[in-house]
Amino acid sequence: MLSRLSPRLLSSSPRLLSSSIRTLVNVTYPSPSVAVLELDRPPVNSLSLEMATSITSHIKQIESDPQIRSLILTSSNPKIFSAGLDITEMSRPSKTRLSTFWRSIQSLFLTLYSTRLSTISCITGHSPAGGCLLSMSCDYRVMSRNPKLGIGLNETRLGIAAPFWLKDLFVKTVGYREAELGLSRGKLYSPEEALKIGLVDEIVDGEVYDVAVERAEEYAEIPEKGIVATKRMCRGELVRDLEGKIEEDVGWFTDFILEEGTQKGIEGYLKSLSKK
């Protein structure tokens, strides 16, 4: 039923929908050419199979409306943009669920990274690991100045490693040496540090959402043909690399996660999170 509605009418607020058909995101339209996709999976917007699938399908719906030129990705939680992958998906999973989960993450990345829409990540809160992946997949990143926030790739802290395409995305964003340092140390950068290395493009003292809308409108004024061709030129190589290795990457991920040593690391990390 929901998918037959025009994207313009698609405001999937939890207030309007029963829990059985909750879509985990809210979509609104602050201006005729701009859509906002708000992550809404309490408590921390972690990316489960259902969450990743929902974000991907909403991006595709928004994309299908030719009037929409820019997309803002943000969070309903002012303190957390996204805590990254739902770690419980990787804890003692069945192999089938784990492969389907990873495919949903690959597909979310490919969809967001190569969309014709100009994408603005509006980072009001923490953005570790998969949260950083979502932000880096956008064209422009604005973040609140709050020094307590962290953004970066902390996979090594869980005893896991980023997949090759996330490492490549990080290298493209911040450069080789900084990426190597950040990845091996599992570093989460403060907004000031992130700005310095180019992990975010702007930090904002006041209302970060208003700045994101302004930037989205600026992007929407640039002729679409030029911007799409440029995006394809800058991003095509990484997209093709992953598309050519989808099955290999699923194999690496499932083998790596299902190893007993990895499982022990994930279990320990989950315990440390819930003890806090």
Ligand X SMILES: CC/C=C\C/C=C\C/C=C\CC/C=C/CC(=O)SCCNC(=O)CCNC(=O)[C@H](O)C(C)(C)COP(=O)(O)OP(=O)(O)OC[C@H]1O[C@@H](n2cnc3c(N)ncnc32)[C@H](O)[C@@H]1OP(=O)(O)O
Q: Determine, following the binding rule CB under 6 A, whether residue 61 of this chain makes contact with ligand X.
A: no
Asked if residue 163 binds ligand X (CB under 6 A), the reply is yes
Please give the distance of CA 145 from its chain centroid, rounded to a whole number: 20
Q: Which helix (H) or strand (E) holds 265?
A: helix 260-275
Q: Does 124 bind ligand X (CB under 6 A)?
A: no
Among 17, 161, 171, 228, binds ligand X (CB under 6 A): 161
The yes or no reply on residue 85 touching ligand X (CB under 6 A) is yes
Pairing outcome for strands 188-189 and 140-144: unpaired
Which stretch, 12-20, 21-29, 84-92, 225-233, contacts ligand X (CB under 6 A)? 84-92
239 binds ligand X (CB under 6 A): no
Secondary structure in 3-state letters for 157-178: HHCCCCCHHHHHHHHHHHCHHH
Smallest gap from Cβ 39 to ligand X, in A, equals: 12
81 binds ligand X (CB under 6 A): no
Please identify, using beta-carbon distances, which residue of 229 and 273 lies nearer to ligand X.
273
Site for ligand X (CB under 6 A): how many residues? 28
Q: Which of 12, 33, 46, 70 binds ligand X (CB under 6 A)?
A: 46
How many whole angstroms separate alpha carbon 116 and alpha carbon 225? 9
Based on CB atoms, which residue is closest to ligand X, 197 or 250?
A: 250
Of 109, 117, 167, residue with least CA distance to 140? 117
Structure tokens at 200: 């975010």
- Which lies closer to ligand X via its Cβ, residue 165 or residue 209? 165
The residue written with tokens 């708000």 in the block is 38
The CA-atom distances, in angstroms, between 68 and each of 3, 11, 74, 161 are: 17, 15, 17, 36
Q: In the set 25, 83, 211, 212, which binds ligand X (CB under 6 A)?
A: 83
DSSP state of 85: B
Burial class (CB in 10 A: 0-12, 13-18, 19+), 116: middle
- Residue 80 sits in the site that holds ligand X (CB under 6 A): yes
Identify which of residues 32 and 251 has a Cβ nearer to ligand X in the complex: 251
Residues in the site for ligand X, rule: CB under 6 A?
Answer: 43-44, 46, 79-80, 83-88, 126, 128-130, 154-155, 158, 160-163, 252-253, 256, 273-274, 276
